[in-house]
Structure 1
Amino acid sequence: MKNILKINSRVFLLGLIMTLVLTESCSDDYLEEVTYGEVPPSEMTKAENVEKAIIAAYSVLNGQIDGASNAYNSPASNWSFGDVVSDDCYKGGGGTGDQNQIHQMELYNTSPTIYDVERKWMALYEGVKRTNEAMKLLNASEDFDADLKIQRHAELRFLRGHYYFELKKIYNHIPYIDETAETVSDYARSNTEFSSEQLWGKIEEDFQEAYNVLPDSQEEAGRPNKLAAMAYLAKTYLFQQKWEDAYDATTIVMGGNYGLLDDFQEVFLPENDNSREVIFAVQYSINDGQSSNYNGSIGDRLTAPGGPYYAQYGFHRPSQNLVNAFKTNIYGLPIEDNIDITDTDNVDPRLDITIGRPGIPYKDLDILYEANWARDLATYGPYGPKKRIVSANSSYHVSVWPYVNALNYYIIRYAEVLLWRAEAAVELGNLEEARALVNQIRERAANSEYVKTLDGAADAANYNIGTYDIVWTDVVDARNKVRLESRLELAMEGHRFFNLVRWGIAEQIINEYLSVEKNRRSHLTNASFTAGKNEYWPIPQEYIDSVKEGLVTQNDGYN
């Protein structure tokens, strides 16, 4: 059993009397006050109940906000919000009508009434609300240990920073509510009260305050430490293109105890998911007493790849474009021709760790992945997710409904920090430092254990990955190489779309991708990315309708 912070949503029912809930779409009132539990108000500020409220703030990290099993509509991994709407993967499932709202997202035909748009908003604001409420209880508690109170407050600042970071990168113009909120109406706020710069400033402030107070290490995995706060601050700077600040922040993180694991495959094993490479993660566990294993990877349960060992959900299917991106030349460097890979091509070894390909062994199951594992092969092609799928042989995998596992979702891992620093180094003119950082990532991949044939006698494909040995002198070329390395290293981890947006190239890359991919996958025939609109999701219509008329401004293009 992993030694982690126990996240159990039931403690929230014991920990709070009143909660401000953004309810599901079946409610007539999007902002509804709900009474939970029978704990007297005088008991609320007792230390043990305050701790329960703090745990409740953590518990929303996995996207699960109620007793249903549909956290896949608000997944912590952002597989639908960060991958399906990028050039990395297709929705998958049983055809375009299966979770059709995600199909509409894939076509960039998103509307303010799409359930996932509403559900993600609700989950993140539930996190904000629980964090704010826990802060108030903590501040009011007289018997809470004084030193621990300071630390717990910093943890809550970190959590609030995370929830708002997610809201900002997904919806852009968002209402901001802090711990001074007292009533339901305090949560009915304008989304234009603060400028984009001011919102980023508030997120920065939460992470900076967390960094100032948090300890260097935590006894319980799942609680952020000092360097986790600095890493998130670096990411916040990166999204604003504050290159010097991002560079300085990564200097601090890289001076700590984090580092790359020796083997790329081992990063994504549940027994290693609080390793030195993982800076902050959503903690998943199974068989821990929680109903229906909802503390497992509930938001990713639809990504089960099918075949003889897994459920036949079949979502989150890698694109042909992504598969082709792993092709390499005789020197082991990316080719980027988007010509379909053949059995004789050289490929980056991360390909068959990240993606299930026909004829290649799948995990340690002593079986070859087959194209017919796909639930709808004709629509979504032959490839399946692999990197974040847990072996069916593992004790961390649940083979019955809801088919979840205990592999954490890594919000930030050390490889990302290296790539962020490489980005900042390029923009600051330190091209050779950027080359060395990218090579560090590629060397790890080269030195990892490669996927073998079933008999273990040979490599399963022509794996060839090399480093960039020629000096980088061109900024544009260096920038593109760093961005490509980010795609290859982080593929299928929910980051691709958001990176394209912050790089300012989403319209170019996605429409170039679609111009070719439409000839491969007919379900994309009507897909088109509109610049100035599709970079962000719409504000949920139900939220707009529930507050004072004119208070909320819809994002551009969705009126």
Structure 2
Amino acid sequence: NAANDLDERKSKDDKDGAVKVTKGFAWALAGKAYLFAKQYDKAKIALKKVIDSKKYDLVPGEKYADNFHIEGDANEEKVFEINFEYNTGKSNWAGMIQRSSWMETNYWNWRFDHFVVSPNKVYCGGADGWGGLGVPQWFGDEFHENDGDHSYRLNATLKRIDDAVYHMSYGKDEIDKMTDEQKKTSDKIGINDPVQGLYGNSTWLPFKQVMRASDTQGKKYGDNIRLNNYLVMRYAEVLLNYAEACIQTGDLDEAKKYINKIQERAGSKTISETVDMDVLKKEKSYELWLEGCRWFDIMRWKDTKAIERLTKAGTVVPHLFDKVFRAPKADDQDVNWEYGSEANSRFYTTNTPETNFKVGFKEGKHEFFPYPQTVLDKNPNLQQNPGW
């Protein structure tokens, strides 16, 4: 209903149309809502309106990473994002930390004090990181197997530990001018913490949301307040949602057309000849990683394999070590070398069972948050959600 009264984006180049609620965004949300309601025919109609408007497009593969940084603000792929603008009337501590994405470098950047020198400090513009996100080994391995070494999408989303340590700029000639062979044994770089290593990390590091130095707009508020727009929905999600609706209504040729568009833009080595829900689920997990879709998809699909993994989440936590600073010990559990053996790997993981944590998804409980007690006190007609 809202779409009737909203402006339409003027063209793919209309940046204003990417940062306000438009017909395209309303149609995209309607389609997503119909998908969740299992009204697939209605989802197809709404989502196809976005496609047929020709006001949106996938950016070229070489610009895929820009979608998550200031260089990609309001580009042709953005269906809706929240606009951040520099305001000279606001200082760091009198408005901007409340109005922007504060401390994102700390959160997303890798744990700086466990490296000899942080390998992405130059990339980020100087702020240190706390290592707040670990990538499951299985996910990085499956993503790599699907996409291959030359995928724009994989390389913009995750980074192998050796690629990070060997190939990111340190801003120091004594390191940057070393060959890869020299770097493989150098103690001037690497993970120098022999106790924890990089706690909670596999041999794949998160990269998609790591802040670039340019995202600070020249450090207008320092090096830890990002000013690139906050992404809510991009066209790739519209195409994948449309493809799902097509699969669910038996229109497999139409679904394949749009899944292939996503795969081809990604630079993936996998271009599906046939498609089904398994193909769709995998593509969506790779394409939209860390964009707020995955949990809700797992819940509505009742995806057995994903839910089984969630029930075990946190029961075993990896430590990522560097053999230059710590050789594997006899009592290490599940030693996993990055490239399969010690002979051709510098980095490896071990596992620590976390027996003292109450972890893992519980079906029938964790699909919902609990009502706060203060809310229940005010409304005795409410019943607490199951399990809480």
Tell me the secondary structure at the aligned position of residue 466 of structure 1: coil
CA distance, structure 2, for counterparts of residue 249 and residue 412 of structure 1: 15
Q: 1:312 to 1:269 in 2, by over 3 A?
A: closer
Which SS does the other structure have where 1:255 is aligned? helix
Q: 1:388: Cα distance to partner?
A: 2.2
Partner of 2:240: helix, strand, or coil? helix
1:482 aligns with 2:274: no
Distance 1:524 1:226, change over 3 A: farther
Q: Give the corresponding residue for 2:71.
A: 271
Letter in 1 for 2:162: G
Counterpart of 1:381 (choices 201, 217, 220) is 201
Residue 245 in 1 paired to residue 48 in 2? no
What is the alpha-carbon distance in structure 2 between the residues aligned to residue 511 and residue 347 of structure 1? Answer: 31
User: Structure 1 residues 544, 271: closer, same or farther in 2, change over 3 A?
Assistant: same
Match in the other structure for 2:296: 498
Among candidates 323, 331, 354, match of residue 140 of structure 2: 323
| Cα distance change of structure 1 residues 412 and 394 upon mapping to structure 2, 3 Å threshold | closer
Equivalences for residues 344-359 of structure 1 within 5 A: 348-359=151-162
1:30-41 aligned at under 5 Å gives the runs none
Deviation at 1:532, TM superposition (A): 1.5
Closer, same or farther: CA 421–272 of 1 in aligned 2, 3 Å: same
Pairing 1:23-422 to 2, within 5 Å after superposition? 208=1, 210-217=2-9, 219=16, 222-256=19-53, 257-263=55-61, 264-286=64-86, 288-292=88-92, 293-294=96-97, 295-298=99-102, 300=104, 302-305=107-110, 306=112, 307=118, 308=121, 309-328=126-145, 333=146, 348-361=151-164, 366-367=169-170, 377-382=197-202, 383-393=204-214, 395-396=216-217, 398=219, 403-422=224-243
- Are the aligned partners of 1:270 and 1:406 in contact in 2 as well (CA < 8 Å)? yes
The CA distance in 2 between the partners of 1:553 and 1:358, in whole Å, is 48
> What displacement does 1:299 show?
7.8
Give CA deviations for 1:382-430 in whole Å, capped at 9, x if unaligned.
Answer: 5443212232255536497681212222211000000001110110001
- For the pair 1:542 / 2:368, whether they are aligned, the reply is no
> What are structure 1's unaligned runs of at least 5 residues?
1-207, 335-344, 447-463, 473-477
Out of 410, 424, 427, which is 2:245 matched to? 424
Shift of 1:370: 5.5
What SS does the corresponding residue of 2:232 show, helix, strand or coil?
strand
| 1:557 equivalent in alignment to 2:387 | yes
Other-structure match for 2:345: none
Give the 3-state SS of the residue equivalent to 1:412 in structure 2: strand
Classify 1:254/1:279 alpha carbon distance in 2 versus 1 (closer, same or farther; 3 Å): same
Match of 1:529 among 361, 365, 375: 361
Q: Is the contact between residue 260 and residue 415 of structure 1 (CA under 8 Å) also seen in structure 2? A: yes
| Percent of aligned pairs sharing the same letter | 26
**Contact 2:9–2:18, Cα closer than 8 Å, also in 1:** no
Q: Secondary structure at the match of 2:42?
A: helix
Distance 1:397 1:543 in 2: 44
Question: What SS does the aligned partner of 2:371 have?
Answer: coil
CA gap of 1:360–1:285, structure 2 versus 1, over 3 A, is: farther
What is the CA distance between 1:348 and its match in structure 2?
A: 4.5
Structure 2: gaps spanning 5 or more residues: 11-15, 113-117, 171-175, 177-188, 319-351
Listed as ranges, the matches of 1:393-472 within 5 Å are 393=214, 395-396=216-217, 398=219, 403-446=224-267, 465-469=269-273, 471-472=274-275
Distance (whole Å) between structure 2 residues aligned to residue 499 and residue 234 of structure 1:
14
**1:404-459: CA deviations, max 9, x gaps?**
2122222110000000011101100011221221111010011xxxxxxxxxxxxx
Q: Aligned to 1:316, what secondary structure does the other structure show? A: coil
Cα distance, 1:513 vs. partner? 5.5
Amino acid paired to 1:381: N
* 2:163 aligned counterpart, secondary structure: coil
Query: Distance in 2 between the 1:524 and 1:490 partners?
Result: 29
Q: Secondary structure at the match of 1:532?
A: coil
Q: CA RMSD in A?
A: 3.3
Residues 79 and 235 in structure 2, CA contact (< 8 A), matched pair in contact too: yes
Q: Shift in Å at residue 211 of structure 1?
A: 0.6
1: CA distance, partners of 2:265 / 2:51: 17
* Amino acid in structure 1 at the alignment position of 2:143: F
> CA deviation digits over 1:296-349, x for unaligned, max 9?
223845223343333222213322232122132xxxx46xxxxxxxxxx85754
User: CA separation of 1:542/1:377 partners in 2, compared to 1, >3 Å: closer, same or farther?
Assistant: farther
CA contact (8 A) 1:228 1:279 kept: yes
CA distance in 2, matches of 1:523, 1:408: 39
Counterpart amino acid of residue 317 in structure 1: G
Residue 350 of structure 1, CA deviation: 2.2
Equivalent residue runs for 1:5-16 within 5 Å:
none
Pairwise CA distance, 1:365: 5.8
Q: CA deviation at 1:224?
A: 0.8
- Mark the CA change 1:515 to 1:317 in structure 2 (over 3 Å): closer, same or farther: closer
Q: CA deviation at 1:467?
A: 0.6
Distance in 2 (alpha carbons) for counterparts of 1:372 and 1:282: 40
The total of aligned residue pairs comes to: 310
